[in-house]
Amino acid sequence: MGEEYLEKELLIKGIEINYLYVCKTKLWYFVRGITMEQESDFVDLGKFLHEKSYFGEEKEIQIGSIKIDFIKKSDIIEVHEVKRGKQMEKAHIMQALYYIYYLNNLGIKAKAILHYPKLKEIKEIELKESDKEEINRAIREIEHIKSLKEPPEPIYQKICKNCAYYELCFI
């Protein structure tokens, strides 16, 4: 992988990886600056949960194009992400894997921990070789979606009815 491509892939935001696995249409709107989250009660609930969880931790750590909920330092960097529920767990895992991938590409050894405070659960994530292949495929797909002139056709899922973008997609 050339250095030029490495620089390009490090411009991808973690939320873009997340949205790729949640909804490609939402991703397309988001990368164009069309953000509807400020109108969403579910996003507000998630922010409230994030703010009230894990007191004493420095939150919202910005490193390049990624924004991590909080980190802890041990023998390696622990990336911690706080999530409201597991309904979109695949997207949460891929976002956490991308953060590890991103940090590894900067020469920083890391692992991730997903926190589900409402469920009182945590999940530890480590990057495997097969995960790197999926991350690279996701990066290429995000670049493709960014290049589209029109949004991908929305695919209705159960989560759509609570999505901030629902009206853009289905009304």
Domains of the chain: 14-35+55-170 (3.90.320.10)
What's the whole-model pTM score? 0.85
Residue 149 CB-density burial (10 A; 0-12 exposed, 13-18 middle, 19+ buried): exposed
Output DSSP code: residue 55.
T
Separation CA 48–CA 168 (nearest Å): 26
pLDDT digits (tens, 9 = 90+) for 45-95: 445 554 555 555 567 888 989 999 999 988 899 999 999 899 999 999 999
Helices and strands, counts by H and E, the chain: 7, 5
* Total Cβ atoms within 10 A of residue 134: 14
pLDDT digits (tens, 9 = 90+) for 85-142: 999 999 999 999 999 999 999 999 999 999 999 899 999 999 999 999 999 999 999 9
CB 139 within 8 A of CB 66: no
Closest residue by Cα to residue 93 from 70, 118, 74, 112? 112
